[in-house]
Chain A
Amino acid sequence: GEDVEQSLFLSVREGDSSVINCTYTDSSSTYLYWYKQEPGAGLQLLTYIFSNMDMKQDQRLTVLLNKKDKHLSLRIADTQTGDSAIYFCAESKDTGGFKTIFGAGTRLFVKA
């Protein structure tokens, strides 16, 4: 079945780069997303990438997609304490089912 997996925890030092990884099982996934959730808040869409792309960059964020391995990563350059949050990977597709499938989230802890 459809599944999205992420490691649950990542700790980095302020100023370092953070890399959050995600794997998904559905090879027909068309859209892949990264969301950020701060404590007690809803999810905020950070970025998305289409399955026909390998990479997308937006300021400090770089998304890499390896379709062959069904692997998605989010790199945050110059990580700040304000980046501490839970990051969710998610996937969806145009055909067949309607659902967006979310991973369990990776909690990023940034040490000053």
Chain B
Amino acid sequence: DGGITQSPKYLFRKEGQNVTLSCEQNLNHDAMYWYRQDPGQGLRLIYYSQIVNDFQKGDIAEGYSVSREKKESFPLTVTSAQKNPTAFYLCASSEHRKYGYTFGSGTRLTVV
């Protein structure tokens, strides 16, 4: 079945460390997105990519980095520069946004 796979489901990071969240899709979608979700808030866009080897900053890109070397993959790195990284991270993809997004199951990152 086609879908988006995020891994790991839970991730613990020590302060000062970089961590990378994986996102893979087999839907053949061109566009991919990373969102951050905090309790009681809507989703906030971190980065998006409309095509391989191209990506754009979203509303809260500071302290994060991405790459898009393959159509299927859009990993997100949370760097030590991100001051408050504890959150639930969601990856999504779309064929065309009029059809909405397909989301992964999320990665919960906790800084310890």
Residues of chain A at the chain B interface (Cβ within 8 Å): 4, 8, 30-31, 33, 35, 40-45, 48, 50, 88, 90, 92, 94, 98-105
Contact = CB atoms under 8 A, between A and B. Distances in A.
Contacts of B4: 42
A106 to B, nearest CB: 11
B100 A48 contact: yes
B45 interface: yes
A100 B42 contact: no
B79 interface: no
8 contacts: A31-B97, A31-B98, A40-B108, A42-B92, A45-B102, A101-B42, A104-B41, A105-B42
B29 to A, nearest CB: 13
Contact of B40 (A30, A43, A90, A104): A104
A43 B103 contact: yes
Given A98-B48, A100-B97, A44 B103 contact: yes
Interface of B: 4, 6, 40-43, 45, 48, 50, 56, 58-59, 90, 92, 97-106, 108
Nearest to B35: A102
Contacts of B48: 98
Contacts of A35: 100, 103
A108 B22 CA distance: 31
B104 A42 contact: yes
Contacts of A40: 106, 108
Nearest to B98: A31
A33 to B, nearest CB: 5
A43 B90 contact: yes
A102 B105 contact: no
Contact of B99 (A41, A43, A44, A48): A48
Sort A-B residue pairs by CB-CB distance and give the 4 closest, nearest first.
A42-B103, A102-B42, A45-B100, A102-B43
Contact of A45 (B43, B45, B101, B105): B101
Given A41-B106, A105-B42, A100 B101 contact: yes
Nearest to A98: B48
